[in-house]
Structure 1
Amino acid sequence: MRILHTSDWHLGQHFMGKTRQAEHQQLIDWLLIQVEAHAVDAVLIAGDVFDTGAPPSYARELYSQLVVRLHGAGVALLLLGGNHDSVATLGESRAMLACLSTTVVAAVDDAAGQVVLLPLRGGKSEAGCIVCAVPFIRPRDVLQSQAGQSAEEKQQSMQAAIHDYYHAVYEAGRARQVALTQELGRVVPLIATGHLTTVGASGNESVREIYVGSLDAYPTAAFPPVDYIALGHIHKPQKVGGLAHIRYCGSPIPLGFDEARQQKEMLLVDLGADGLTAITPLPVPRFQSLVSASGNLFELATAIREAAEEGSPDKPVWMEVTVAEDDYLADLPARVEAMTQGLPVEVLRVRRQRGTAAASLAGELSETLDELSPDDVFAHRLAQEELTPDLQLALSQRYRAVVAGLSEDRADYSDITRASMHCRTVVTSLSEDAA
């Protein structure tokens, strides 16, 4: 059984005033060629099929085209809902797409309903593998909110709920595997999917956080013991926790300038009676050049000329430039625009280095004490100092000791004013230690 694992297509993405329609069309054309060349039995898209819950009509057209063309090639398609996808949008054509060799799992269902049998190529009923098809899990799908819970308690409850759900689906999948083994006289491999962030995964700017706060980090060891785990949500291809059988395939096209230098790929996953036999990265061509450059105006002029070598009049390079040193100039956009005259380059965003830093600082300053815990305040203050690791550790230990003392003595501080005076004393003491 050979599966092509991909995810995070984000059909319909509106990228700084630019459509990705042409890129996605080329991606589908390329995919169909690879499916034939590598004798793929099934394609698995692990979430974020669309970029928004209400995708534009051309994105729906591309989606339909992908389904029809894979069906014509005799290749099964499994689609999982992601955090960008609308459950209603994906689910509206589920019954019809089932007639076109496509299984849509838009949202969490009962455990048995999440077990999908993928056939071997050619539309035959011969079983290729069993999938514990788990889509993006929303907290309300598996958890009832309880009043008075701390952030840590919410995190633990959510992780426990996801763990229990995964293992319920796994048990249903194992039961199906045992039944098929007895029926067919051979072992049918068992895999799982997911659309979430795991502990140790490396993300990027264009990935939208999928849970509130720190609820997005699911422990790798909590996944069930299946032959392969096909993950989506992180756009950078990678193994998880150094384990070869737990993989993010990444997005097939760069979805932000922070991904401009990534080699995008899909994964050819080979499975047999003994489980996982091989994983082969399949590099995806770059259908649209994206370049991010930074420097002063002189350096940027050189970078723009170099980037122009990748473009053509009918397909210019899309650029993001960050201006350093000269970022005080008021007419920066006009100066940068002049550098691109006659070149196949479109600058989609001009950033000022100091302006970017100021925006970040303004964002931090906009936070109020009501939104921050004492630990947050201390962490922000410590980050502003250039200290050795040993001194940072010593200050952190001193801080925890002071906080512990405050907790014991808090009955002595009956009003906010007196507590604030004590906090200023603590800060003064910490500053003297840092000096």
Structure 2
Amino acid sequence: MKILHTSDWHIGKQLHKYDLSEDLELFFTWLIAYIKSENIDVLLVSGDIFDQANPSQAAYKQYYDLLKNLISLDCKIILTGGNHDSPTVLNAPAELLKAFDISVTGGATEELTDMFVTVEKNNEKLVVATIPFLKDRDIRKSAAGESYATKIEQIKSGLRTYFSNVNAHYDKNYTEEVFIVMGHLYVQGSELSESERDIQIGNQAGVEANMFGETPHYVALGHIHKPQVISQAQNIHYCGSPIPLSFSEKEDRKQINVITIENNSISKLDLVPVPKHRNLVTFEGSLQEVAHNLNAYSEKTTLTSLAEIIVTEENESLERRQAFEALINSQPNANIEIVKSRLIFKSMVRGASDAFAVGTDVADVTPMQMFEKKLELQTNLENTADLKNAFREILEELKL
């Protein structure tokens, strides 16, 4: 039996207002061909199927077009929700999708047994715990007046207990079947990119890898976009997103993970590269240097390269600002589209916080950074730590 692990599709994603649907469509076309050619028996998607809780009509269409094409394959499909997904949105067609051998777990269910899926193919047996992104209410009971530190510790403890119960359910109800646990969360030690929305603000509630115990034969994680192994011994893997979703991911090698089961045990794990169809590139330097490098760029890919430019000049002047705007608006190279730009004057930012350098796009500053900057300006405050924790809780409630 062959199982394909992927995650973090983020259907509907825009990179600085640039639509990435073409990138995903090329990945989906390749994915379907790979499933056919390699006779994949099970497809696991570990959360963040959509980029927004309320997807656009175009995002819905891309999702259902993909499922329609997958249905024609002899492949069991298992989908779980991530922190970007709405459980209601994913679960709405779940009963209908069952008829096409597609299992969907948008949010945690009251009974663990409802999140266990069994697959039997080619004389092999597989049990999958389809654990989606776990919300606060799924893992603990909140109390009025509790401190932020107490809340974080309860979240960590709640996650450990939850996955311990998942293992106990397997031990009680199954015997020799290969056991895979799906999850969508931050595990300490994993490398982040700038495009992930933290499960808990600052990832304070990140858990240790040993939380999953020794029972699962493979842990198929989502949420982190950089593919990486968290524990070789325990077979805990993030497969990462299939396409770059931010400029911090431009050097990442995107992949899918393919697990092979033979004689009711995992015999092989293949890390299969996903074809690259678009470059994300960054140009930094003076206005003259950036303009030269933009014009000299010649690499061609299936899709137009997307660029961020960071221009740094010594002194501010109207002439330099106008030249910067002209450079951005001219789109000087047919192989590149500029989607992100920043102009920094050194003389104006000396001694200033990097997060608030002149020319910084407000979209690049987090709400937390903005709040901390405001607190710095209020010199008469003494309880800043409490205020920061309170603000973090507000951001969590608003999912910002």
TM-score under structure 2 length normalisation: 0.83
Equivalent residue for 2:144? 147
C-alpha separation in 2, matches of 1:113 and 1:215: 30
Equivalent residue for 2:131? 134
CA contact (8 A) 1:265 1:284 kept: yes
Equivalent residue for 2:334? 343
Is residue 2:160 matched to residue 1:163?
A: yes
The range that moved more, 351-360 or 194-203, is: 351-360
Which has the higher relative contact order, 1 or 2, with Cα contacts under 8 A spaced 6 or more apart? 2
Match of 1:190 among 179, 186, 195: 179
Point out where structure 1 has 5 or more consecutive residues left out of the alignment. Answer: 179-186, 377-435
CA contact (8 A) 1:48 1:85 kept: yes
Within-5 A mapping of 1:45-194: 45-109=45-109, 110-120=111-121, 128-178=125-175, 187-194=176-183
Change over 3 Å in CA distance of 1:220–1:252 after alignment to 2: same
Equivalent residue for 2:297? 307
CA contact (8 A) 1:188 1:273 kept: no
Within-5 A mapping of 1:7-406: 7-109=7-109, 110-120=111-121, 128-178=125-175, 187-225=176-214, 226-241=216-231, 243=233, 245-273=235-263, 275-310=265-300, 315-325=303-313, 328=316, 329-337=320-328, 340-341=331-332, 343-353=334-344, 357-359=355-357, 364-367=372-375, 369=381, 372-373=384-385
Report the AA paired with residue 121 of structure 2. Answer: L
C-alpha separation in 2, matches of 1:63 and 1:300: 39
CA shift digits 1:109-166 (9 cap, x unpaired): 1211111113437xxxx65310111110001122110234333322221111111111
The range that moved more, 269-278 or 90-99, is: 269-278
Report the AA paired with residue 137 of structure 2. Answer: R
Change over 3 Å in CA distance of 1:167–1:342 after alignment to 2: closer
**Cα offset for 1:311?**
5.2
C-alpha separation in 1, matches of 2:323 and 2:58: 36
CA contact (8 A) 1:41 1:119 kept: no
Change over 3 Å in CA distance of 1:366–1:130 after alignment to 2: same
Equivalent residue for 1:433? none
C-alpha separation in 2, matches of 1:157 and 1:362: 28
CA contact (8 A) 1:293 1:303 kept: yes
CA RMSD of aligned residues (A): 2.5
CA shift digits 1:151-210 (9 cap, x unpaired): 3322221111111111222222233322xxxxxxxx320110110001111101100011
CA contact (8 A) 1:8 1:250 kept: yes
C-alpha separation in 2, matches of 1:327 and 1:101: 63
Change over 3 Å in CA distance of 1:128–1:336 after alignment to 2: farther
Change over 3 Å in CA distance of 1:145–1:56 after alignment to 2: same
CA contact (8 A) 1:2 1:40 kept: yes
C-alpha separation in 2, matches of 1:327 and 1:274: 67
Larger Rg: 1
CA shift digits 1:239-287 (9 cap, x unpaired): 1145461000000011111111211111111233463322111111122
C-alpha separation in 2, matches of 1:149 and 1:362: 25
TM-score under structure 1 length normalisation: 0.77
C-alpha separation in 1, matches of 2:286 and 2:236: 42
**How many aligned residue pairs are there?**
362
DSSP 3-state at the match of 1:373: helix
CA contact (8 A) 2:127 2:180 kept: yes
Point out where structure 2 has 5 or more consecutive residues left out of the alignment. Answer: 358-364, 389-400
